[in-house]
Structure 1
C-alpha cells in the first residue's frame, strides 16, 4: 500500500515549485537545505514519480510535478484553514453552543445575553431548546446540550448546579378580579377559587404543590395545562387563578391579567446553570456563561 504524503512534504514541494530554488525554498519553510531535499525525495518515493528535473543551474517541474501542484496547493490551503478554524474554536470565537432550558428562562433570561454575546462572538451559533425540567436534565447528561438553565435537580446524578437567580411566585388573576386590587395575597386564596395549574411534570407545578402541602392546603386543580401560555389564557378567560413564577409571566399575555405577590411562605424557585459533572465546557459555552452571569 502506497504511503500517504504528509503536509510537511507537500509544503516542501510547494516551496521548491514556486521558487525553483532549493536554498530559497529551505529558507521559506525554515529548514536546512538537506532536510528540504529529504522531504522532496520522500514525496517522490511515496508517489513513485520524479517531481523535479534539477541540475546545478535550474529546477523545473516534471509533468507529474505539474499535476501535483494544484492538488498540493488545495490540500495545504485546506489544512491551514482547518487549523485556523480549530484555533478559533479553542479560543471560543467559533463553534456552536447547545443550550437546554426551561421555557421561562428561554424567554426572560437568555435573549438579552445572546444579543450581548453575539456582538463579540459573531461566528458562534447558539441552539436554544426550551423543554421541561425532566428533559433538561436528560439533554445535559447525554451531551446533546452543553449546559442548561433550570431548577436544581432533585438528585445530583452526575450533574452540577450553580444558582443564578431566585424566581418569586405570584398569584395571577384577571384584571377584573377583586384580588387584582390587593397588594399581596396568601397562598390560602388558591383554595378559595378554581385553580388553573401547570402540568404535573412542570417544575412550577411541583413547587406549588409542595408549598400548598406545607401550608396544609389540600387543593385539587379545577383545570390543568402543560403549556404555561395556555394557563394564562384560561385565567384571562375567568376560569380561575394560578400560582406562577415571575419569569414565566414572559410567556403569558398579561394585557388582561394582574400578578399579585404571594404572602405566607416566601416561595421562589431557584434557577441556575446545570452542567455535567467532570465535563469541561467548550470555550464558547464558557464565554457565554460569563456574559449570562453579568447580565443576570
Structure 2
C-alpha cells in the first residue's frame, strides 16, 4: 500500500522530536501551532499509527515513533545530499566531461585547452582520450563521449552537433639539408619526387583529391603517428605534409616548416558535441570555453605565412 507522506510532514515530525515541544517546533518552521499539529496528524493518519505520545506537559516518541525517527532522518539527509549534489553540478563545482581527439590535435591544441579549462573550472573533471578519428566518431554516436574534435564534415548524426572552429592550411616539413627548405614556399610539384611520410588517415580522399594527379607524390610511406613521421624525416629523406597547427612539433625536432601551395589545401577543424535530451552544465561550460579559447589560441599560435583563402568549407579544400 502506498502512503503519500510529504517531506513537510517529516520535517514537522522531526522538529517536534528535536525541540520536545509543539510550540517550539512551530516557531522553528515558521508555522502556527495549529498548522504544525495538522501536519503531525496528517502524517500519523497516513502511516496509520501514533508516532508521538503527548499530554498537556510533554511530548515524546511512541514505540513505533522511536523506530520511525532514524529512518525519517535518513530520508531527509539523502534528499539534502541529492539537492547539494544537484547544486554543485548546476554551479559547476562538480561534473564530468568526456573528450576525445585524434592526432595531431591531441598533441597540439588539446593539452593547452584542457589545462586552461581545468584552471577555470577546477571542480570539473575532463576525461580525455587520444584515439583515432574513427573512435572519436564512434564514441560520440554510442554515447561514451560528450565532446570530440577532428576534421569537419565527417559525421552525419542528428544526435551530434558540429561546431566549425578554424581553417588550417596544410604545410610541409622538410629536413633542413633539403634544398627545398631554402625556399619561401613549396609546391606539390616540388614534392613529387620525394618520399612522402604520411600519418594522416584518409590522406588520399581528404588531401590528395584536391591536388592534380600529375603532382601527386610518387611514393608514400604510411605510418600511424605524427611524431613517428617527423622523427623518420629527421634522420632520413622525404617530406611530411601536416596542418599548420603542428609547427611547434616540427620545429621542436629541428625541421623546416614551409607553406605548401599550388594548390593550397586546408582542413577545417571542428568540435562535435553529443546532444542528449539535455546537455549537462559541465559540457555546456566546456563548449563555451572551447569557442572562446580557440579564438585566442589560433590568434596567438605561430603559423607559417600562408593565405587563408579556401574554395570550400568541408573536410579539406584547395585554394587555387
| 1:271-290 equivalence runs, <5 A | 271-276=269-274, 280-290=278-288
Secondary structure of the residue that 2:231 maps to in structure 1?
helix
- Per the alignment, do residues 26 and 261 of structure 1 end up closer, same or farther by CA in structure 2, a change over 3 Å counting? same
TM-score (norm: length of structure 1):
0.85
2:119 equivalent to 1:110: no
**For the Cα contact (< 8 Å) 1:52–1:60, is it kept in 2?**
yes
**For the Cα contact (< 8 Å) 1:196–1:239, is it kept in 2?**
no
TM-score (norm: length of structure 2):
0.79
Q: Please name the residue that 1:189 is paired with.
A: 190
Q: Please name the residue that 1:78 is paired with.
A: 78
- Structure 2 residues not aligned, in runs of 5+: 295-320
| 1:51-200 equivalence runs, <5 A | 51-154=51-154, 156-158=156-158, 159-198=160-199
Using the alignment, how far apart are the partners of 1:206 and 1:93 within structure 2? 44
Note the alpha carbon deviations across 1:67-119, whole angstroms, 9 max, x for none.
Answer: 44343333312211211211222344421111122332233223333333223
- Per the alignment, do residues 281 and 129 of structure 1 end up closer, same or farther by CA in structure 2, a change over 3 Å counting? same
Using the alignment, how far apart are the partners of 1:115 and 1:57 within structure 2? 64
Note the alpha carbon deviations across 1:130-155, whole angstroms, 9 max, x for none.
Answer: 22233322222222222222211245
- Per the alignment, do residues 222 and 155 of structure 1 end up closer, same or farther by CA in structure 2, a change over 3 Å counting? closer
Secondary structure of the residue that 1:234 maps to in structure 2?
helix
Note the alpha carbon deviations across 1:236-288, whole angstroms, 9 max, x for none.
Answer: 22142111112245666832322121122222211022234686432221212
1:223 aligns with one of 221, 238, 243: 221
Further displaced range: 156-165 or 124-133: 156-165
Note the alpha carbon deviations across 1:12-40, whole angstroms, 9 max, x for none.
Answer: 22111111222332343345544533443
Secondary structure of the residue that 2:264 maps to in structure 1?
coil
Instruction: Note the C-alpha offset of 1:173.
Output: 2.0
Aligned CA RMSD, in angstroms, stands at 2.8
Secondary structure of the residue that 1:162 maps to in structure 2?
strand
Secondary structure of the residue that 1:272 maps to in structure 2?
strand
Note the alpha carbon deviations across 1:42-68, whole angstroms, 9 max, x for none.
Answer: 544565553221112211123443344
2:208 equivalent to 1:209: yes
- Per the alignment, do residues 32 and 249 of structure 1 end up closer, same or farther by CA in structure 2, a change over 3 Å counting? farther
**For the Cα contact (< 8 Å) 1:190–1:242, is it kept in 2?**
no
Instruction: Note the C-alpha offset of 1:215.
Output: 5.5
**For the Cα contact (< 8 Å) 2:231–2:253, is it kept in 1?**
no
- Per the alignment, do residues 155 and 187 of structure 1 end up closer, same or farther by CA in structure 2, a change over 3 Å counting? same
- Per the alignment, do residues 104 and 12 of structure 1 end up closer, same or farther by CA in structure 2, a change over 3 Å counting? farther
**For the Cα contact (< 8 Å) 1:133–1:203, is it kept in 2?**
no
Using the alignment, how far apart are the partners of 2:72 and 2:289 within structure 1? 43
- Per the alignment, do residues 193 and 11 of structure 1 end up closer, same or farther by CA in structure 2, a change over 3 Å counting? same
Using the alignment, how far apart are the partners of 1:289 and 1:203 within structure 2? 27
Secondary structure of the residue that 1:175 maps to in structure 2?
coil
